[in-house]
Structure 1
Amino acid sequence: MMFQPQNPALEQALSAGKTKGYHLTRTTNVFDCLNLVAQKEWDLLLLPASLSDGTEAADMIKLFQRHGYHGAVVVLSELQHAAEVTRALQQGAMDYLLIPFGHTHLAQLVQRLVQTQQQQNMVAESCKSKQMFQLAQRVAQTDASVLITGESGSGKEVLAQFIHDSSPRAAGPFIAINCAAIPESMIESILFGHTKGAFTGATSAQAGKLEVANGGTLLLDEIGELPLALQTKLLRVLQEREVERLGSHQKIKLDIHVLAATNQDLEKAIAAGRFRADLYYRLNVFPLHCASLKDRRDDIIPLANNLLRRHMPPGQASTEFTKAAQKVLCSYDWPGNVRELENVIQRALVMSRGCLIREEDLMLPTFENITSERITGVPTSASLSVVRPTRKSMTSSTKPDLQKSRKLAEFDTIIETLRRFDGHRSKTAEELGVSTRALRYKIQTMREQGLDIEKILTGQNANLVPTNFNFS
């Protein structure tokens, strides 16, 4: 939050606001305010209805908008400045507060701002997205466990945050823990906490994520990667609603809303013995599915515009997509979903000239480079051309065979490494020298090509040749 003028009558309310979790920066003149606007992004700007020199809030709003400020504005006013407040609201101010006001009024205003921004961030133009958010709002009013499924990058954590923000627990903590990103040796202490001396290196007591989330929401992301031994302990905690830190027998009561997310088929994981059925049913009280971006194309342009506003550098004039660029965005299949779209938007902002993002600024990858990019996370030089992946782009009749051989060798390496580590993806990714996320992308690609990973790992199907291998 940013507050422009000095006014002793506001000090108490604003100081109380600090204890509510707001970060407040004060400035004493318009020029300092403009400098701060250029340096970083602000959520809320508090302006006086009128300055001593006669400058009105409406004039200041115009000035800040010209310098790239697109956040919310609230006018601070006394009763005699009603006309100035009206003009400020017409210029785009979100609301006004009459001086003096209590910190509860400020808290209510900020909460409304959060809800407004949340609605703006939740893009739901397609029928699938609208239905998903409607269901999410309903379950947010309860403490029913939610299992969010969907491809990597499809927005599962964003949906979890939306559920938290829409719930009666919105003022409490939102704690997300990625079960795939934490070493197996550390995940138990991070999740459940520990006492001093509970194990070598435990020099002080530490609350676990379950305990920290008390009064709020806990998201267990990539729940399918949680080791079996910890699945048993987590199930007991969820059933009893209490947790014990490592090294302690003291039970700590829990009041949390539990959400879980995965891009795996947990029913197949249960059949393969990698996931507990009882934990699955405990978490899957209310299932929600994030559709892939290619299955909700009506969301692509609104999402792209939203991401464009979010990543636009402070002070930069408004930028928009050309019609040709929008057409390319809508025709691409987005294998990396919203995460890939966000990367493309950030790259386009760097490459664009002026206030327009053109087709060539998007630099969408060619098909033959998608594989290497997903594994390494680094774009190749050839991927900087804008080419739609089609069979016609193959100029040599032998090229598909070479690509197929290369892909099959890659698939075989991944399968063999997964076997060596009993299907443990974090260890497999470390051995292959790639991120866990990159490995998940590749496994998803293998599934899309017709490989049943679980059957291959359990020896039920040794055939590594995809059933629907293609290049389109």
Structure 2
Amino acid sequence: MSIGKRILLVEDDPTIALIIRETLVDECAHFTAVSTLAERDAWLAVHQPDLMITDVILPDGDGIESITTSGIAADAPIIILSAQNTLDTAVRAANIGSYDYLPKPFDLEELTASVRAALQRPSASAAEKIVDQAADPADIHGLVGRAPAMQAVYRTIARLATNDLAVLILGESGTGKEVVARAIHATGLRRHGPFVAINMAAIPRELIEAELFGHEKGAFTGAHSRNAGRFEQASGGTLFLDEIGDMPLEAQTRLLRVLQTNEYTTVGGSQSLRADVRVVAATHREMATLVADGRFREDLYYRLNVIPVTLPPLRERRSDLPALVRHFVDAGRASGLPDRQFSAAALARMERHDWPGNVRELGNVVQRLAVLSRDIEVTARDVDAILSQASDHHAPTNPADAVSRAVDDWASHILADHMHDGHIHKQLETLVEAALLRRMLREVNGNQLEAARRLGINRNTLRKKLASLDIDAAKF
């Protein structure tokens, strides 16, 4: 028991209130439960709790909106409970300085642990507790779903709203890593600054440093004028480093130094510039494996992985599928696609699909169904026809088809980024050659002579290619 501690619970569901009382009665000296905001304010006019636990939707108002006028001391910790399990609720809870946010149904052990930690924390000043109220949940786009795994993501995003810590977003391709990065930016301290994204897998290694840090006129062939890099473009905001696992080692070294010193120089420049950005990185790769294989610097990994956010694949959050389908239908209608309703059988058929492309694949399927379905209501037969085609897409009949489709997907992505005009052929050539050489070296256990023989090239040529691509044959 926390000696002398007083807890106030504001909860209108008598069953939940009773369960919480029975759970926490041994954690404090005094436990009081009320069911309305009016009862809360009457109690606070006479007493001050060491901890308040409050629901959001109450009979006479909103438990979050009314906090600032409730009369509770500015340094009293508050735990928010809510069945409105959305990112908006988590962000609103963070914005009023809540100690914790627990979506219903919550785990009683987790509630107890949170209460103990809150009661034992040092008192916080009002300045430390109050968070800027300017974050507008309406600015947060694309995050849909209330599955437990998504609730964990929402809570982490909300806790990032009051700091500038580096974030590493992990998850399979198509899970929405950039959407989460944008949500972190939109709810954070730098939300009024720019959000700048760069895909590390889409840039040739010889251009990465110029893309990140900029270059001076004449720094290299073709540098006809000074060019601001992504760090400079993102100044005051957020820099999103997508597919960070594909970053070459030499560029990793320079990025590490920038994160350590918050300073950098442009390519060909001599003046130090301040790196005034929040760095959010993302990858679909297993970072621990890359570090163990020597393909990613361990010290950089720890610099980036201060706060990890792991996104669940769609197959692990199937309960969110109807809401996601509605989201994509609404988005399609806003861009001119026909409105559609999905039958229960159609949604059931979609829930049985494994969605190897995750939310991105689901969005594509919903758009295709909106265009191709003949009736307003999409049927299970409509869905089955589209998903059968999707299965064929994910299981090509021969390797040439697989390569063709991979290149097509890559080209569709990179052609949208006009920053790389004039370098696209070189980018693809580098990516394909590096992948081929790594696969061959694994096949022959790093034997360069045998690799050169199978590839049909001279051994010296192979060595030069490995050196230019920063591939160490000894690691294979």
Normalising TM by the smaller chain, what interval? Answer: 0.5 to 0.7
Is the contact between residue 337 and residue 371 of structure 2 (CA under 8 Å) also seen in structure 1? Answer: no
Query: Any gaps of 5 or more consecutive residues in structure 2?
Result: 1-133, 407-432, 444-472
Aligned position for 2:394: 370
Aligned position for 2:293: 272
Deviations 1:423-471 (A, max 9, x none): 9xxxxxxxxxxxxxxxxxxxxxxxxxxxxxxxx9955xxxxxxxxxxxx
Aligned position for 1:341: 362
Deviations 1:260-305 (A, max 9, x none): 1011111111111100000000001111101111011111111111
Shift of the alpha carbon at 1:370?
Answer: 2.2
Correspondence for 2:438 among 414, 418, 435: 418
Aligned position for 1:298: 319
Structure 1 residues 179 and 414, CA, compared in 2 at 3 Å: closer, same or farther? closer
Q: Is 2:137 aligned against 1:115?
A: yes
Shift of the alpha carbon at 1:360?
Answer: 3.1
SS at match of 2:202: coil
Q: Which amino acid aligns with 2:137?
A: Q
Correspondence for 1:156 among 162, 177, 187: 177
In the alignment, the residues of structure 1 paired with residue 310 and residue 287 of structure 2 have an alpha-carbon distance, to the nearest angstrom, of 13
In the alignment, the residues of structure 1 paired with residue 291 and residue 362 of structure 2 have an alpha-carbon distance, to the nearest angstrom, of 33
In the alignment, the residues of structure 2 paired with residue 196 and residue 315 of structure 1 have an alpha-carbon distance, to the nearest angstrom, of 44
Is the contact between residue 195 and residue 246 of structure 1 (CA under 8 Å) also seen in structure 2? Answer: yes
SS at match of 1:177: strand
Q: Which amino acid aligns with 2:387?
A: L
In the alignment, the residues of structure 1 paired with residue 278 and residue 234 of structure 2 have an alpha-carbon distance, to the nearest angstrom, of 9
Shift of the alpha carbon at 1:365?
Answer: 2.6
Q: Which amino acid aligns with 1:137?
A: A
SS at match of 2:201: coil
Is the contact between residue 219 and residue 258 of structure 1 (CA under 8 Å) also seen in structure 2? Answer: yes
User: Map of 1:8-407 to 2, 5 A cutoff?
Assistant: 115-116=137-138, 118=140, 121-312=142-333, 314=335, 318-362=339-383, 363-365=386-388, 367=391, 369-372=393-396, 375-377=403-405
In the alignment, the residues of structure 2 paired with residue 153 and residue 195 of structure 1 have an alpha-carbon distance, to the nearest angstrom, of 36
Q: Which amino acid aligns with 1:118?
A: I
Q: Which amino acid aligns with 1:176?
A: A
In the alignment, the residues of structure 2 paired with residue 118 and residue 211 of structure 1 have an alpha-carbon distance, to the nearest angstrom, of 24
Is the contact between residue 216 and residue 223 of structure 2 (CA under 8 Å) also seen in structure 1? Answer: yes
In the alignment, the residues of structure 2 paired with residue 331 and residue 117 of structure 1 have an alpha-carbon distance, to the nearest angstrom, of 33
Shift of the alpha carbon at 1:346?
Answer: 1.2
Shift of the alpha carbon at 1:158?
Answer: 0.6
Deviations 1:7-30 (A, max 9, x none): xxxxxxxxxxxxxxxxxxxxxxxx
CA RMSD, Structure 1 to Structure 2 (Å): 2.8
Structure 1 residues 414 and 254, CA, compared in 2 at 3 Å: closer, same or farther? closer
Deviations 1:155-212 (A, max 9, x none): 1111101000011211110011000011122111011100111111100001100111
In the alignment, the residues of structure 2 paired with residue 457 and residue 360 of structure 1 have an alpha-carbon distance, to the nearest angstrom, of 53
Shift of the alpha carbon at 1:354?
Answer: 3.3
In the alignment, the residues of structure 1 paired with residue 357 and residue 187 of structure 2 have an alpha-carbon distance, to the nearest angstrom, of 27
Q: Which amino acid aligns with 1:331?
A: R
| Identity %, equivalent residues | 41
Structure 1 residues 317 and 267, CA, compared in 2 at 3 Å: closer, same or farther? closer
Deviations 1:240-271 (A, max 9, x none): 10110011110111211101101111111111
Deviations 1:372-413 (A, max 9, x none): 2865439xxxxxxxxxxxxxxxxxxxxxxxxxxxxxxxxxx9
Normalising by structure 1, we get a TM-score of 0.56
Structure 1 residues 315 and 185, CA, compared in 2 at 3 Å: closer, same or farther? closer
Q: Which amino acid aligns with 1:370?
A: H
Shift of the alpha carbon at 1:361?
Answer: 2.9
SS at match of 2:180: helix
Structure 1 residues 344 and 417, CA, compared in 2 at 3 Å: closer, same or farther? farther
Is the contact between residue 301 and residue 329 of structure 1 (CA under 8 Å) also seen in structure 2? Answer: no
In the alignment, the residues of structure 2 paired with residue 290 and residue 237 of structure 1 have an alpha-carbon distance, to the nearest angstrom, of 27
In the alignment, the residues of structure 2 paired with residue 351 and residue 328 of structure 1 have an alpha-carbon distance, to the nearest angstrom, of 17
Shift of the alpha carbon at 1:345?
Answer: 1.0
Is the contact between residue 415 and residue 457 of structure 1 (CA under 8 Å) also seen in structure 2? Answer: no
Q: How many equivalent residue pairs?
A: 282
Shift of the alpha carbon at 1:137?
Answer: 1.6
Aligned position for 2:44: none
Q: Which amino acid aligns with 2:365?
A: V
Structure with the bigger RCO (C-alpha within 8 Å, sep 6+) is: 1
In the alignment, the residues of structure 2 paired with residue 187 and residue 369 of structure 1 have an alpha-carbon distance, to the nearest angstrom, of 32
Is the contact between residue 332 and residue 338 of structure 2 (CA under 8 Å) also seen in structure 1? Answer: no
Query: Any gaps of 5 or more consecutive residues in structure 1?
Result: 1-110, 379-412, 424-455, 460-472
Is the contact between residue 126 and residue 299 of structure 1 (CA under 8 Å) also seen in structure 2? Answer: yes
SS at match of 1:377: helix
User: Map of 1:427-466 to 2, 5 A cutoff?
Assistant: 458-459=475-476
In the alignment, the residues of structure 2 paired with residue 315 and residue 278 of structure 1 have an alpha-carbon distance, to the nearest angstrom, of 48
Q: Which amino acid aligns with 2:340?
A: T
Is the contact between residue 128 and residue 296 of structure 1 (CA under 8 Å) also seen in structure 2? Answer: yes
In the alignment, the residues of structure 2 paired with residue 421 and residue 237 of structure 1 have an alpha-carbon distance, to the nearest angstrom, of 33
